[in-house]
Amino acid sequence: MIGFIGIGIMGSRMARRLLDAGHELIVYNRTKSKTEPLIKKGALLAGSPKEVGSQADIVFTMLANPQAVDAVAYGDNGLLAGMKQDALWVDSSTISPTQSVKLADDAKNEGIHFLDAPVAGSTGPAEKGELIFFVGGESRDLEKVRPLLNIMGKEIHHKGANGTGTAMKLVNNLMLGQTVAAFSEAVAFGESLGLDKAGVIKSLFAGPTAAPILHFKESKMMNEDFENADFKVNSIYKDMELASEEAYKHGFALPLSNTLKAMYGLCQQQGKGEYDFATIYDFLKKK
């Protein structure tokens, strides 16, 4: 039996792929209604994280923030209170390396194996099983879960010990936030010079500087439709804040990222926290 906790926009798609591949699944989500499509497809519903842990040999968590991970992990009804000896917990949430190491240590103290395995990719890749997993933890634990990761993703990058998977995810998302913001500023600048937006985007895509993520944001920027979010402002702001906190612990400066993080924070203050983070284009463009 496989457990899955966190049936949000990413977790629901990842869990569905496991279910469609024929695996028995038990799921838990704080908002019960989000589990209904999976229940209709045959998944079992648990009443608590502890119940998931008591029935599953491998448990995946895909949660919104560090606080949600701790809320699921600890307490009388928490995951660690219910998991079997030698069971495996795979956390795909984006949290800090420091927190991942603590979770791994606490799991080990309970006789439980732990992998941090956050993903690169948004809703489209999750739907198609094309996520990239950044994994931290023991090789033998990764080999145990590799067939399941291959159902949900197209690549697995084992980065080293516990905490290195989440470290790589922060590095990835730091660049993700910068890339979309730089593209947004370039397009908005082109428009301010009197250039046609569609033409600016086409010319940028023809050059060497256009990252693959930008092609996914083209329609949002062209239509200025940011309310239907693939990846929210709240999420990129949270990830960049985690990177900033971790950089501080390691004595490393992030001058570009910290300036940009403040811009995403201003988008939040404008009431756009639930918008797609490509709304940074609307924030930057000349009104």
26: nearest Cα among 2, 54, 50, 6: 2
212: nearest Cα among 121, 109, 77, 115: 121
Name the active-site residue from 34, 84, 169, 220: 169
The Cβ of residue 202 has, within 10 Å, a number of other Cβ atoms equal to: 11
Burial class (CB within 10 angstroms; exposed 0-12, middle 13-18, buried 19+) of 183: buried
Distances (CA, A) of 169 to 16, 75, 101, 199, 263: 23, 27, 14, 33, 21
Is the CB of residue 246 less than 8 Å from the CB of residue 170? yes
End-to-end CA distance of the chain: 54
Annotation marks residue 32 as catalytic: no
Looking at the annotation, which residues are catalytic? 169
